[in-house]
Structure 1
Amino acid sequence: MNLLEINALAAEAESIKELINQVPPADLVSKFQLGKKLERINLQLAEASKAEIHHAQLAVLFGGKPVFGTSSILAGFASKALSMLDKIINQQFSFGENGFLPERGRVRFNESSNLAITGLAHQSFGFVLEETNPNAEMIDSGLSKIVEQTVDILSDLGAENYKSFEDALDKTDPRQLSVFKDFFKHLSDSGANLRFVENEVDRYIDEFSIERARSRIENVSVEDIEDDRIVGKILGITPLSKKFDIELSPSSEAIKGSISQKFSAEYLERIAQPNEDIIGKVWQVKMKIREINEPNKPARKIYTLLELVKKIPNP
């Protein structure tokens, strides 16, 4: 059962509940019949919730001024919003695979991040997007995880808690800020709100959150640089949680951060070799340093360990 069918059943269940509340107390037969129908639908929904879904599915429901009940939506608004959302997911997929986006030019379209509109969603007006990869039904889809992460990021960018906004920035590439800004500006200028339903995730982004995200993104700057001349003692590397701790030389300042996916794989191969001595030794390393500048706040730096360049001999 796909999201479209689940969405339709959920809408039918809500309608039946309203009908039950309207049935006169003396009409026991109607109440019984409606109750049995609701029971069957709830059983179907419970079974659907247990089913394993390997491929990416996302219901995108719009509300606000561009939407007219549950019957229609402004075509220009919807096509532009879906095009931007598709671009955001494609960029996030590329960022997840490589850890960065190209510095210039368009991000190459990847068929593995391809979503298609497979139906209309009930309850407000929206669309059901599904992965087109035929192999995704049999194995867990990487795109499914990216879609879930994208929904979290878009929601967190406009969250009341500012820390959620900062965490969302940490999971993106600086080049994505421009499409995020355009997406939230389009929603804001159109007076729209947004709801995402993705497997067990249900996120509602209201007009206030959309305006909050737009304002924050317009007032933040993010810059990434790579430096392969950093020297420090490796205090710890945990490839499973993708974290590191280093004591810089000669300042003795301790910094921590994440390790790239590529570094994690290479590190596991290195420590399997005999006589590989990394922890507790001084190394020259390559890092990506992200500097985030926000109004009325000191610049914030985020470190990602990319490579062990060479071991520094003991003095």
Structure 2
Amino acid sequence: MVRKIERDALESQLSGVQALIANMDPDDFVGRASLQYHQNQLGQEISKLASSITNIGSVVLSFEGGPVIGSRGIDTQFAATTLNTYQELISKQLAAMETGGLAQRGPVQSRSAGKLNITSLVHGSFGFQLEEESSDEPEFVDSAVKQSIAIVDDFISAFSSGSDQLYLNALSQVDRRVLISLQKFYNTLYKDSASLKIIEDDRDIVINQNAVLLAINRINDIEVQDTDISITGELLGLAPVQRRFDFRPSDGSPVISGQAGQQLSNDYLERLHSEARLPGRIYVAKMMRRVATRVGGSFNESYTLLDLTEPASLSLPDGP
């Protein structure tokens, strides 16, 4: 079970026990002792759960609105479409993380590796718990699938957020094919007048119907154009954890700042241990320039740093 659901259930039980204790007859010593023992047991379970580490990807998608019949059922076509689209999102994001970006067409190589299974139903509204297939090998860090789930959920949240800045940041980072599946996901929610609650181990994200409408307006209101460019200049800084970079073109153009690609960030961390300090050196930077144009004519421009190579003039071998 997703840890947050289990913790919320235990905390609800604990609140109920504490309320019973507070309203007990002061002379009911036996009953008080019994409830206090139960209270202590619940507290220990909550503490144990808080310290547990789960590195396997799991998430709950819980729906309300048009396709849901109380807590008894859900429209099968809606459920199949949304779950399949969410699976697409995870598989595409996983592939983008592993390859540094997806081709505009063709199969997604990590579709089977990012496979999620329905492991239980969640009631209250109507939800599905999804989990990746666990490996026999011990996981000491979050699996790539768990990381992909968190990133996809961040995108879903940001596109429906009341903050334009969160939305624009997400728009600059999302892979183009992930964006297509995100549009499909939100269109399904909108068409069926559904709302969504996403529950992870330590957070939940609520997407009501107003938020769905906001996301739909944003996604359907933009046209995204990606262009690969190469620029020679000085790498001023690269933060691999935050995945941010600053680059000064040699032609005197303004400094370019933006997002570093996942693969570049990973490579940079490895190279820190074997090479001289990268910032301050001259490179040919391969970047993706994204221009997102709104229907009204305004646009947002962003850059993603994909690769760094030495200029040919600097990498020629010394003469005899």
TM-score strictly above 0.5:
yes
Quote the offset at 1:194 in angstroms. 0.7
Would the alpha carbon gap of residues 120 and 265 (structure 1) be closer, same or farther in structure 2, given more than 3 Å must change?
Answer: closer
| One-letter amino acid matched to 2:179 | L
Quote the offset at 1:160 in angstroms. 0.4
| Residue deviations 1:122-166 (CA, integer Å, cap 9, x gap) | 332111111103246533212111111111111111000011111
Matched, 1:64 2:65: yes
Q: Partners in 2 of 1:15 and 1:76 — Cα distance?
A: 36
Q: CA RMSD in A?
A: 3.3
Aligned counterparts, 1:231-270, within 5 A: 231-264=232-265, 266-267=267-268
| Residue deviations 1:203-251 (CA, integer Å, cap 9, x gap) | 11111111111110011122222123x2223333444544332222323
Aligned to 1:208: 210
Quote the offset at 1:22 in angstroms. 9.8
| Residue deviations 1:240-287 (CA, integer Å, cap 9, x gap) | 54433222232342112233344345556667667x686545443322
Quote the offset at 1:31 in angstroms. 8.5
CA contact (8 A) 2:258 2:302 kept: no
Would the alpha carbon gap of residues 279 and 148 (structure 1) be closer, same or farther in structure 2, given more than 3 Å must change?
Answer: closer
What is the TM-score normalised by the length of structure 2? 0.82
CA contact (8 A) 1:234 1:281 kept: yes
Aligned to 2:151: 149
Aligned to 1:291: 291
Q: Partners in 2 of 1:243 and 1:179 — Cα distance?
A: 25
| One-letter amino acid matched to 2:178 | Q
Q: Partners in 1 of 2:295 and 2:35 — Cα distance?
A: 57
Aligned to 2:54: 53
Q: Partners in 2 of 1:159 and 1:214 — Cα distance?
A: 12
Q: 1:171 aligns with which of 170, 173, 195?
A: 173
Q: Partners in 2 of 1:78 and 1:182 — Cα distance?
A: 14
Bigger shift: 136-145 or 70-79?
136-145
Would the alpha carbon gap of residues 183 and 263 (structure 1) be closer, same or farther in structure 2, given more than 3 Å must change?
Answer: closer
CA contact (8 A) 1:95 1:172 kept: no
Would the alpha carbon gap of residues 305 and 63 (structure 1) be closer, same or farther in structure 2, given more than 3 Å must change?
Answer: same
CA contact (8 A) 1:290 1:301 kept: yes
| Residue deviations 1:167-217 (CA, integer Å, cap 9, x gap) | 112231112222111111111111111111111011111111111111100
Would the alpha carbon gap of residues 254 and 153 (structure 1) be closer, same or farther in structure 2, given more than 3 Å must change?
Answer: same
Identity of aligned residues (%): 24
CA contact (8 A) 1:16 1:34 kept: no
| One-letter amino acid matched to 1:152 | D
Q: Partners in 1 of 2:88 and 2:109 — Cα distance?
A: 10
CA contact (8 A) 1:286 1:309 kept: no
Q: Partners in 1 of 2:157 and 2:272 — Cα distance?
A: 39
Q: Partners in 2 of 1:268 and 1:146 — Cα distance?
A: 20
Would the alpha carbon gap of residues 40 and 283 (structure 1) be closer, same or farther in structure 2, given more than 3 Å must change?
Answer: closer
What is the TM-score normalised by the length of structure 1? 0.83
Q: Partners in 2 of 1:207 and 1:31 — Cα distance?
A: 46
Bigger shift: 250-259 or 149-158?
250-259
Matched, 1:107 2:108: yes
SS class of match (2:108): coil
Q: Partners in 2 of 1:273 and 1:16 — Cα distance?
A: 53
Q: Partners in 1 of 2:173 and 2:253 — Cα distance?
A: 28
Aligned to 1:7: 5
SS class of match (2:165): helix
CA contact (8 A) 1:284 1:312 kept: no
| One-letter amino acid matched to 1:3 | V
Q: Partners in 2 of 1:48 and 1:26 — Cα distance?
A: 29
- For these two proteins, the number of residue pairs brought into alignment is 309
Q: Partners in 2 of 1:136 and 1:188 — Cα distance?
A: 41
Aligned to 2:220: 218
Aligned counterparts, 1:31-50, within 5 A: 37=38, 40-50=41-51
Aligned to 2:183: 181
CA contact (8 A) 1:120 1:128 kept: yes
